[in-house]
Amino acid sequence: MKTYTKEEFRELLEKKVRDKRTKTLEETTDKDLFYAITSILKDSINEANIETEQRYINEQNRQVSYLSMEFLIGRLIESNLINTGFKQVCDEVLEDLGRSPRDVYGEEHDAGLGNGGLGRLAACFLDSIASLGYAGNGFGIRYRYGLFEQRIVSGSQIELPDNWLREVYPWETRKIDEAIQVRFGGEVDFVIDNDQYQFSYKDQEVVLAVPYDIGIVGYENDVVNTLRLWSAEVPDDAVSPEPYMNQLEYKQSVEKISGFLYPDDSKEEGRFLRLKQQYFLVSSTIQTLIHRFKANDDLPIEAFHKKNVIQINDTHPTFGIPELMRILMDEEGLSWDQAWEITSHTFAYTNHTIMQEALEKWPVELVKRVNPRILMIIDEINERFCKSIFDNHESLRDRISEMAVISDGVVHMSKLAIVGSYSVNGVAALHSDIIKNYTFNDFYRLTPEKFNNKTNGITHRRWLLGANPRLAELISDSIGDHWVKSPVEMTQLLRYQNDESFLSNLAEVKLHNKKVLQEVIYKKTGIEVNEHSIFDVQVKRLHEYKRQLLNIFHVIHLYNEIKRNPKLKMVPQTFIFGAKAAPSYHLAKEIIRLIHVVGEMVNNDRDVAGRIKVVFLENYNVTLAEYIMPAAEISEQISTASMEASGTGNMKMMMNGAVTLGTMDGANVEIAERVGQDNILIFGLSSEQVINYQNKGGYQAKDIYQTDDRLKTILNGLKDGSYAKGETFSDIYYRILTNNDPYFILKDFTSYLETHIKAVTLYEEQKQWNKMSLVNIAQSGKFSSDRTINEYATDIWKLI
């Protein structure tokens, strides 16, 4: 990619501002500058994108297509500047102009096309795939409205639409000439011709899938891959299939398909529409892949899987399996066996949760309405699968009804995904073991070779180089900058464990980042926090299993202690929360309200005298995370063991020098393995203990309530309005006492408290703490998504 001197870049900027905004540099607003910079970048990115695609075609590379209903990409300007190598020049030019780079880059709307970890993972993966030079592209949906914007009104969450396309989105290119027709509903007919079934469809709704491409820039390697997001439009000549609908209503009904990202990870609202979205994504994408294969590869269609692998991010794109079967049989004329040979060697499935309520199950009737031919194919896959177990695996015969892809009138998407894929992976070692031994044990017994683990990762380019430039600089000053291309080399930092000057520099960087966050907190909430207090952070979606409730119970307990003994000596602590609750998840919203009520009480009580503060940052998103991660000191990763598949916030905070306080769950287990017991704070039940209680019983939350006065006081306070006049939380109270505390909050409470006491004691020994922080940074290289992607590329995708 081209490089620019400061003078050249300034000249270019001046020209762009003139051409695009008809202004001189002096007259520009931050927004003008933002659009001028993105336009310069996009010229280079587009050029490199064309070259990259051409190179993949010439080299006849095997390619991966990463299909995901979510890409939580956040802002792109800084990461594009970093990856193209323009960052320093651009910063300097802006500063010379007396402008703040932070304000200019802050003009970009955070693209929130995802709910949380799953969507952010997809974005980190694209960054790594491009940075490592692999031939791989992402495919998703260009939702008109991304994840809702969260507002807190009187302590409660309300949701506003995320109108992220109100202004021009500078990174996308609409490619109408590559639009694809997707067909929904209607009826299927067939005739038997020469012993071959010929299928025909009628009365289908035809929707145009229009691609918008975003260049995914590799780190200083001239590679630009593509994220293709599909938008639903009415085809030019189409008329409404419903006689009572006028053309405008018809247009609106079609555009709804890419209208909203569904803000619930589990329960599906607007179920039919959500299902249409899934089929819309896979049909448009797979038609495109087939079309490209036929145009670019000199091989017969039977070799499709030799050149293509499709990774499906959770079960959401699983209809890709019957869709590829449909195209191969009905359009390419292959037999079932030929089509199955190709399909079952094309797909690889990543599972992201073992929670039963979050595993997708779709009523047969609904699938039929989306596309009846797709249901026919799933039916046939199921029939053949069940028969093959009966014929070939006697030991699993009594499990057939459990393993069936369709049972009780619903399609089990995870089972379809496993049957139709050649690889099934979990996202952390513990999670992959649980999948094999419990969740999908029958399938593991049937085809053990399919199952594997790929521990998640995060891109260190965004989460360290971009978000924490001072730490990155300190690392490079100490061990050189080779770690940037090879993050595991950060272990070389271990030699500074007893180096006082390094440790104090490290502490200085942290303090700086805390001050930046302090300012953000003040601006957003008006709360003044002490930059010398411990920044204790829990930021993630709000779910009962993630146990934000345990965290706030701890805060209430500290408050109660202070009230009992106002002279109590205590290291000041700031408890920082960020969390969106699904709009229909009542209890999650109640927990948000509780955090606010407790915050009001704690922050304004004179007796507390600033020893503890509670901050809830509304609308937690990627941009906010980029301020929070570098400032965190304690990383709260406190899910009920076995329930968090991996977690990735844990990795982000570790890489920025926070110490994990968490359960032996998800990737925490591997963090513990890397840093050792001395550099992590582990508490609570093990996953085995939790699973045992779930399967065999033996836990009585009421017994703990009766015997533990601390918890009795906390819980009673929920009902009697102790935390604020007139504000009660009986639903939370009953969830714990009547539903027997399904997430073991009371059970883990004592050990959580003790671990916090240990944390504070360690923190008081500043040197000791800084050393722990250093070990965490030094060992975080494993959690770069570059490592993860290299493993996918070698073991699953076979790109090398």
Active site residues: 352, 540-541, 546, 648, 652
Query: Does residue 587 touch ligand 26V according to CB under 6 A?
Result: no
Angle at 268 between CA 166 and CA 113, to 5 degrees: 30
| Site residues (CB under 6 A) for ligand 26V, limited to 339-358 | 352-353, 355, 357-358
In the DSSP assignment, the letter for residue 692 is: H
Query: Does residue 316 touch ligand 26V according to CB under 6 A?
Result: no
Instruction: State which of residues 94, 645, 659, 774 lies at the interface with ligand 26V (CB under 6 A).
Output: 645
**Kind and range of the H or E run holding 139:** strand 136-141
180 forms bridges with which residues in the sheet? 209
Q: Using only C-alpha atoms, what is the Rg of the chain?
A: 27
**Kind and range of the H or E run holding 361:** strand 361-363
CA distances from 773 to 479, 752, 777 (A): 17, 20, 6
- Report, in Å, the least distance between residue 352 CB and ligand 26V: 3
Number of residues located near ligand 26V, criterion CB under 6 A: 22
CA distances from 139 to 35, 401, 589 (A): 25, 34, 32
Query: Does residue 165 touch ligand 26V according to CB under 6 A?
Result: no
Residue 133 and residue 183 in contact, taking contact as beta carbons nearer than 8 Å: no
Instruction: State which of residues 218, 647, 662, 717 lies at the interface with ligand 26V (CB under 6 A).
Output: 647
- Residue with Cβ nearer ligand 26V (352 or 436): 352
Instruction: State which of residues 65, 284, 623, 648 lies at the interface with ligand 26V (CB under 6 A).
Output: 648
- Residue with Cβ nearer ligand 26V (215 or 647): 647
- Residue with Cβ nearer ligand 26V (355 or 364): 355
Please tell me the distance from the alpha carbon of residue 73 to that of residue 71, in angstroms, as a whole number: 6
- Report, in Å, the least distance between residue 530 CB and ligand 26V: 32
**Kind and range of the H or E run holding 228:** strand 224-233
- Report, in Å, the least distance between residue 217 CB and ligand 26V: 23
- Residue with Cβ nearer ligand 26V (410 or 724): 410
| Site residues (CB under 6 A) for ligand 26V, limited to 424-443 | 427
Residue 258 and residue 230 in contact, taking contact as beta carbons nearer than 8 Å: yes
Give the Cβ contact number of residue 584 at 10 Å: 11
- Residue with Cβ nearer ligand 26V (171 or 440): 440
Which two tokens mark 330?
Answer: 């009905």
Amino acid at 565: N
| Site residues (CB under 6 A) for ligand 26V, limited to 588-617 | none
| Site residues (CB under 6 A) for ligand 26V, limited to 452-491 | 456
- By residue count, the chain amounts to 800
Beta-strand pair 573-578/410-412: unpaired
Query: Does residue 312 touch ligand 26V according to CB under 6 A?
Result: no
Question: CB under 8 Å, gap of 24 or more: what pairs does 199-202 form?
Answer: 199/329, 199/330, 199/373, 201/373
Query: Does residue 360 touch ligand 26V according to CB under 6 A?
Result: no
- Residue with Cβ nearer ligand 26V (149 or 265): 265
- Report, in Å, the least distance between residue 659 CB and ligand 26V: 20
| Site residues (CB under 6 A) for ligand 26V, limited to 516-555 | 543, 545
- Residue with Cβ nearer ligand 26V (287 or 456): 456
Alpha-carbon dihedral sign for residues 108, 113, 118, 123: negative
Please tell me the distance from the alpha carbon of residue 419 to that of residue 390, in angstroms, as a whole number: 15
Site string for ligand 26V, 107-146 (x = CB under 6 A): ---------xxx--x-------------------------
**Kind and range of the H or E run holding 525:** helix 500-525
- Report, in Å, the least distance between residue 360 CB and ligand 26V: 10
Residues 6+ apart with CB under 8 A from 314: 68, 69, 118, 350, 351, 352, 353
- Report, in Å, the least distance between residue 227 CB and ligand 26V: 18
- Report, in Å, the least distance between residue 537 CB and ligand 26V: 17
- Residue with Cβ nearer ligand 26V (206 or 358): 358
- Report, in Å, the least distance between residue 541 CB and ligand 26V: 8
Instruction: State which of residues 162, 265, 536, 633 lies at the interface with ligand 26V (CB under 6 A).
Output: 265
The CA dihedral of 301, 303, 304, 306, to the nearest 10 degrees, is -170
3-class secondary-structure state, position 644 = coil
The residues binding ligand 26V (CB under 6 A) are 116-118, 121, 265-266, 314, 352-353, 355, 357-358, 427, 456, 543, 545, 644-648, 666
